[in-house]
Amino acid sequence: MAKREEWSSRQGFILATIGSAVGLGNIWRFSYVTGENGGAAFLLAYLFFVAIVGLPIVIAELAIGRRGQGDATSAFISIAPRSGWAAPGLIGVAASFLVLTFYAVISGWALKYFAGAGTGVLWQAASADAGGYFQRFVANPGEPIIWQATVLAVTMLVVVGGVQRGIERLNRILMPALALIMAGLAVYSLLQAGSSKGVAFLFTPRWELLLRPDIYLAAMGQAFFSLGVGMAVFITYGSYLPKSFRLPTMAIMIIAGDILIAILAGLLIFPAVFAHGLDPKAGAELVFITLPQIFLAMPAGKIVGTIFFGLLVAAAVTSMVSLLEVPVAYLMHRFGLRRWPATVWTGAIAFLLGLPSAMSYGLLKNIKWRDHQILDNVDYVVSNFFLPTGAIMIALFVGWRWNRPDAIAQANLGDGITANLWIWSLRVGAPVLMAVVLARSFFA
């Protein structure tokens, strides 16, 4: 068995875990999915799933991981020996790998925008036609692939080096910087003429939308994607956690950070979308077309914009690191591979499997399902079906299979009312809710 890596400090865990949770999901995905699903009503459903359903599951994943002290599959087996319970871990490994394939493509877009912002190419092109600039970029047969490969290579370098001091230190500076810049930009965006429509879109629910089952499916998928639950990331990261750290506190911090960045992104993007007369339903390209226009319109916008895209890339990479770390840890722990071959193989295959996503707005743009291209659909299926399925299995496992005193002790919950709430939300509340949402979307 290969020697396991260690984080340098407790703070390092928290930062790395928040680094994993906060990423493109909070900015790029949150804004486009919220736009497609009608705004405020969707936001409410998303908050419900993040805070109420997500919380017990994040705690459960961390507890499984810390108890298991291994990779995503062995963690289950160490709690329930000789059972088929490795399956949720395996699904997690496979699915975080799938997320990585398309996540690398979008991260590549962000890197391209960062580079373009730094050199000034972006501003020139976007002042003429921001939408056209983006469309030409993604339609190009080769360019998105080059950026996708570049981001993956950077992520692989970090993971080969062992996810430790570098990324911890990086996160310590980058995550607060990201939050600050986002807050500043949101304020700026709110001060623009016409911003109130965007605020209303985000905060005044059209209640009738809550009658549509697809809102809940989308909200659940978004909540799970942006937290990164259901996929063994927290199990893997949790395996490096010291005993002394209280999991509920950590889970709450992750969730608060995740919500904060998402709402700031919404406050930044929707006022601008409406102020510029753009369509909130634009889909995956929303952020890439609106943001350059906001930056162009603001004083010192080119500098702020360059910093912003730089932070976006950094946030994306810290999430990619977690996605890559799951299969790498699995290969190392189960098959005794060393870190670098495990990383190189996983990264290379993720690159190849990501090619259809990278080409989905270019050569393959006519391949559609649900009126969306390949990348959107990989995202849709993984987020809305794989993540909840993984989360259901994890909830049932901890609720019913794990012996209760051990589970509660591992989760640092004491044996009071909170422990009961936690156990019963895992036994019944969360799985039933998730199952109903999934079932309704199949039979609606």
Residues of this chain that bind ligand TRP (CB under 6 A): 20-21, 23-26, 96, 99, 225-226, 228, 231, 233, 319, 322-323
Q: Which is nearer to ligand TRP, 386 or 422 (CB)?
A: 386
Residue 395 CB, nearest approach to ligand TRP (Å) = 16
Residue 116 CB, nearest approach to ligand TRP (Å) = 22
Residue 424 CB, nearest approach to ligand TRP (Å) = 25
Residue 200 CB, nearest approach to ligand TRP (Å) = 26
Q: Which is nearer to ligand TRP, 24 or 269 (CB)?
A: 24
Residue 316 CB, nearest approach to ligand TRP (Å) = 7
Q: Please write down the HEC assignment for all residues of 283-330.
A: CCCHHHHHHHHHHHHCCCHHHHHHHHHHHHHHHHHHHHHHHHHHHHHH
Residue from 279, 117, 283, 276 nearest 189 by CA: 276
Query: Cβ of 54: how many Cβ atoms within 10 Å?
Result: 29
CA 358 remoteness from chain centre: 18
Instruction: Report whether 316 contacts 228 (CB < 8 A).
Output: no
Q: Which is nearer to ligand TRP, 217 or 408 (CB)?
A: 217
Q: Which is nearer to ligand TRP, 319 or 425 (CB)?
A: 319
Q: Which is nearer to ligand TRP, 12 or 23 (CB)?
A: 23
Q: Which is nearer to ligand TRP, 263 or 413 (CB)?
A: 263
Residue 339 CB, nearest approach to ligand TRP (Å) = 19
Nearest-CB residue for ligand TRP: 25
